[in-house]
Amino acid sequence: MFNFAVFRKFVTLNNGRRVLLRPLLEEDQKLLFDLFHEASEEDTRFLKDEVKEPIVVERWIANLNYDRVMPLVAFCDGRIVGDCAVYLGTKSARHVGEIRIFLAQDFRGVGLGSKMILEMCDVCKKRGLWFLRAEVILDHAKVVKAFRRLGFDLRCTLDDYFMRKDGVTHDIALMIKRLKKPEEYTF
């Protein structure tokens, strides 16, 4: 089985900056909190967790378990500039992971998101996953387009599926990437 804990990789972004990708560690708590704390309310309002609350990040760190969630972070200039996590399914969905990503504002549009997602796709294939699922706010056309470019297919839309804390609902694009071809399945 692939050992996510030892994964390390440097990637070069479209702007020439080099970034280290590696799993989230306990000592990253403050840096991860800083990533979310520095983000605008607009940037965090579509996340599933209240990431601006220190207890949320503290709980993630206290419960680090790469067999349940694989959080990959991107480091540049002493700070975390990206967080991409795959939540691993269980039981009948043990072959499926849900991918989520968040980037610092100044690291968007330079290829970091694509590189992180592609690395996570590779990691997930090595872990034996068959599918990756992404739930994208349908109004975020650029994000939907980016996931399509990375091989995710729009499988359906779910009306009013996401509700912000202010009660406003948004439609979701359910996007799926097949990591294994049917002929590769073994039982």
The 10 Å Cβ neighbour count of residue 90 is 10
Q: Residue 181 — pLDDT band, cuts 50, 70, 90?
A: confident
The 10 Å Cβ neighbour count of residue 122 is 14
- Here the CATH number for the domain that contains residue 44 is 3.40.630.30
* Cβ-contact 73, 85 below 8 angstroms: no
Is the confidence at residue 187, as pLDDT, over 70? no
Q: What is the mean pLDDT of residues 138-166?
A: 96
181 or 138, which is more confident? 138
CA atoms within 13 A on the CB side of 128: 11
Q: Write down the mean pLDDT value for the chain.
A: 95
Q: Residue 186 — pLDDT band, cuts 50, 70, 90?
A: low
Strand partners, 170: 162
* Cβ-contact 36, 52 below 8 angstroms: yes
Domain boundaries, position 73? 4-184
Sheet harboring 153-163: ordered strands across? 9-12, 18-23, 69-76, 79-88, 96-103, 131-137, 169-178, 153-163
- Looking at the structure of the chain, the number of domains it has is 1
Using alpha carbons, select from 42, 9, 43 the residue that is nearest to residue 23: 9
Is the confidence at residue 182, as pLDDT, over 80? no
pTM score: 0.93
Q: pLDDT by residue (tens digit) across 39-74?
A: 998 889 898 898 999 999 999 999 999 999 999 999
Q: Residue 2 — pLDDT band, cuts 50, 70, 90?
A: confident
Give the per-residue pLDDT at 165: 86
Instruction: Report residue 135 CA to chain centroid gap.
Output: 11
Query: What proportion of the chain, given as a percentage, has pLDDT over 90?
Result: 87
